Amino acid sequence: MSADTFRSVEIERTSVGRYVVRNARGGSMSMGTGDDGDFTPVELLLAAIGGCTAVDVDLITSRRAEPAQFSVTVTGDKIRDETGGNRMRNLRVEFAVTFPAGADGDSAREALPRSLRQSHDRLCTVSRTVETGTPVEIVDTGSGAD
């Protein structure tokens, strides 16, 4: 893997069901089982899907006009079944974006549907990965006693 394509995060256990996620740039956030205010892994998946598309759409439309409102809601159903195991279905990303009146706002409004399609069809790495069903490899590199 080359340095320009490789991505990683590290997850460290802080207590039972609680973790800190760190990226290579020094950012960190808490993650847990949902017993407190920390995001769960499923919520982070939803945030990643919505956030990825939001970044794409924002970068394209805000070149034309600063949005008056820009919010994204991501929903889905967590299911458990005998065939597929635990998974999400009915994933939906809903944008509520408004732009100011005037030529710049008109230009941004015109660009919005196209930017949503571009993000979904080719730009958003997260949703593209989910939709193509990329395999996940689980590897144990350090089992055993200290």
Q: What is the pLDDT of residue 32?
A: 97
Q: Indicate the pTM of the whole model.
A: 0.90
Residue-level pLDDT at 146: 67
| pLDDT of 1 strictly over 60 | no
Q: Where are the domains of the chain?
A: 7-39, 40-131
How far apart CA 39 and CA 32 sit, in angstroms, is: 6
- Average confidence (pLDDT) over 75-83: 92
CATH 3.40.1440.60 fits 40-131, yes or no: no
